[in-house]
Structure 1
Amino acid sequence: MLVTRHRNPTNTNNTKRFDLINEFFNALETQNSEEPREVFDFIPAVNTRESDDAYYIELDLPGIKKEDVEISIDKNILTIKGKREVKREEKKDDYYRVESAYGTFARSFTLPEKVDTENIRASSEDGVVEITIPKLKVEKDTTKKIEIE
């Protein structure tokens, strides 16, 4: 019997190994030095942007309740942690199916010094958490020339 094997270059063991290595280093990257060294189950996608008045961080957290997300700031390091516990159950006459997804995540960001940490706000809509970090108002140049008498 002749068996023909087709190789898919995107589905090799080498690719899988690199995916695991990337996942490991991405997990380490998200941790601040004061956190215990653990590998998190997933890393949410993040978008950051800046305006004249604030910095914005958006995290994609589909299916995660806002009660399961914790946002904190310590020494200008903003940390977002959370967990996902999704259980989908489907019962029919001829079958029963349960799909579960569990995991934790954490992302940390070092903020610039000139931010208003007392007025950071967060909101959640359609699985996207947006954090608004206001900038401190910087006074215009108030240099005044003093004449020598």
Structure 2
Amino acid sequence: MFFAPTLRTARFTPRTHDHAFERFVNDAFAGARRSPLVEQDDKSWTLSLDVPGLSREDLSISIEGAVIRIDSKVEAKRQFKAAYELPQDIDVAASNAKIENGVLTLKLGKLVPASQASQLQID
């Protein structure tokens, strides 16, 4: 039998609740879906997310400016919700999404900003 005395001094006060285990569990189960694999080139970004158990009918993807939102529908077997903001607006016409073997791959086109510069005549 092992005996461990409880120390109660001014320097040591026991914590009522240790969050280390809670952080470990949250990181282990939620960490993978919150950090997508991102690759980019001159014209697009490619995001890969793990969404096991979800099909294309279960997901809804919306794009507004530089923000992409991915939500599972209410009737889906499991719930998923994520939003990511990219550094540049997304070209919806040049973007597509596919899901294969529980991996959602989004190829998002970069929207090239149109120049707003005007020429001013010198008098």
The TM-score bracket by the shorter chain reads 0.5 to 0.7
Q: Which runs of 5+ in 1 are unaligned?
A: 5-12, 28-41, 86-102, 140-149
| Aligned-partner Cα distance in 2 for 1:22–1:52 | 33
Q: Which of 88, 92, 97 is the equivalent residue of 1:113?
A: 88
Q: Quote the Cα distance in structure 2 between the aligned partners of 1:115 and 1:14.
A: 39
Q: What aligned pairs does 1:45-84 form with structure 2 within 5 A after superposition?
A: 45-82=35-72
**For residues 127 and 115 of structure 1, do their structure 2 counterparts lie closer, same or farther at Cα, with a shift above 3 Å needed?**
same
CA RMSD across the alignment: 3.7
Q: Identity, % of aligned pairs? A: 23
CA distance in 1, matches of 2:27, 2:98: 30
Match for 2:63: what amino acid? I
Q: Deviations over 1:55-113 (max 9, x none)?
A: 1111111221111111001233110112652xxxxxxxxxxxxxxxxx42211111333
TM-score, reference length from structure 1: 0.51
Cα shift readout 1:117-147 (whole Å, capped 9, x = no counterpart): 33321011111111111123579xxxxxxxx
Equivalent residues, number:
102
Q: Does the 8 Å contact 1:121/1:131 carry over to 2?
A: yes
- Relative to the length of structure 2, the TM-score reads 0.60
Distance in 2 between the 1:124 and 1:18 partners?
A: 30
